[in-house]
Structure formats: structure tokens, C-alpha cells
Amino acid sequence: MRGVLRDKIMKAVFFLAALSSILAVALICYFLLANGLPAIGEIGPSGFLLGTEWSPSDTPPSFGILPMILGSLYVTAGAIVIGVPIGILSAVFLARVCPKKLYKVVKPAVDLLAGIPSVVYGFFGMAAIVPFAGNSMLSACILLGIMILPTIVGIAESAVRAVPENYYEGALALGAGHYRSVFRVLLPAAKSGVLAAVVLGIGRAIGETMAVIMVAGNQARIPVSLFKGVRTLTANIVIEMGYSTGLHRDALIATGVVLLVFILIINLSFAALRGKSL
């Protein structure tokens, strides 16, 4: 009887823990939608999403976030182009190539990258990247490409290591070499985990704020060049939320709604790709 009661209590504890996570997400969504959707309705969906002018202080004010939407998409795409290939190749190296002595040095270094605060990455970008690329979209892409590396490397390495060893041995037995076995057999078998790594890397890139503010130039205009300044959705919220009031504040919250939709689309796309791969 005592064991049965203990099991019921623990089941209730686990249920409440899961419920609290769902409740937290629901409250966040409710706050964003309750404050953001009325602002979108007042501004106008087309004017808000497709407008090219962001001028809260003008009369009348303009709240078009298309420059920030494009800025976020371009910066995230640039980070993916830089970070994903390096991250996946690094994961394969750590999982199947790296000598044990070197692994003991490289793996802690990668893990250390994950623990570095965003503002420190921002200082690094200002000191090492901005001098030759300027406060520009390119600087933000390079810096974010570096910042997503630990996420991609850690998850992709675990995915590659999770593939049964007999896949590799079978490929060798059929005459494939080491690298051919790794890239033609092990990596495709681990594609679900690798996709998860990429999706989490995208989430990290699109949600990053402080480091981007420090290197991107923060100019609320349509991006036209890699070497011009850009402002992302997250940067727009952080820069102006401290002094915003009224419709201006609600428009910034509505920007958060757009970010939430982006993350939802990314997660649904990953779920669809994962479903096709199974």
C-alpha cells in the first residue's frame, strides 16, 4: 500500500511539473496576443507587417516592421550558412575522428563556448569582427554563426554517437572506407538528431539580441547589402521598450507576436521534416 501511494504521489508531482511548463507557455502566449493583436488591428496588418517605415516619434507615427523581419531572416540565414556546415563537420570529427587525447581538450572548449554570455560575444565581435566588416549585417552573421556552434556541435555529436556501431561495421564490410562510411551511412542515419541541432541553432540565432545590437548597426531600414547596418526584431524590442508608451509599446509587443509565429513555423517545419524522415 505504501509503495502504491508513493507511486501515485510521484505521478501527481510529475503531472504538475509538466502542467506548469504548459501553463507558462500559455501565459506567455496570452500576454503577447492580448497586447499585440489589438495593436496590429489598430495599425493594420499590412501596414504593420509590410510597412517599410518605423518612426514612432513622427506625426502620425509609422510602425512598419518589414525592415526588421528581413533583417532577422537575413542575419539568421547568414548564421546558418556559416555555422551549420562547421558545426556538423565538427560534430563528426569529435564523434568519429578525433583522438581521445585531443578530444579531452576540444570537447571542453566547445562546451565552454555555450557558457559564454552574449555580451562577451558582443565585445568579441566589436574587437575582432567590426574592424574589418563594420557595424553591418555581415558582422552579425559571422558572430551568430560562432554563437550557434556549441548548440549544433553538442546535439549533432550525440546524434552521430547514437547510431548503432554495426551500421559502421557493415559499411566497412561492404568495402566502404572510413570517411565514406561516416558520411554515407552514419550521418544519414543520424539525420533526425542533426535536424534537431540545426533547428535549435536557428532558434538561438533568431532569438539572439545583445550581441547583435553591439555589432549590427541597428538601422531600421530595408537591408540592401551585407556591409550595411541592419536591425532585427529582437533588437528593435530591446532598444525601444525602455521608453515606449501607448501604441508604441503595444507595437513592440506585437513584434514579439511575430517572433513567436516565426519560432512556431520553425518547430512545425522541423516536425514535418522529421516525420518524413521516419
pLDDT tens string 97-116:
889 899 999 999 998 988 89
Confidence of residue 17 (pLDDT cuts 50, 70, 90): confident
How many residues comprise the chain? 278
- Over residues 216-258, the pLDDT tens digits come to 988 888 888 889 989 999 999 999 888 888 899 999 999 999 9
pLDDT for 1 equals 62
Q: Please give the Cα distance from 90 to 84 (Å, whole number).
A: 10
- Over residues 128-166, the pLDDT tens digits come to 999 988 899 999 999 999 999 999 999 999 999 999 889
pLDDT for 171 equals 86
Q: 37-41, 87-91, 271-275 — which is least confidently predicted? A: 271-275
pLDDT for 218 equals 87
Nearest to 39 by CA among 65, 21, 18: 65
How big is the CA angle at 155 (ends 152 and 156), to the nearest 5 degrees? 75
Q: Please give the mean pLDDT across all residues of the chain.
A: 88
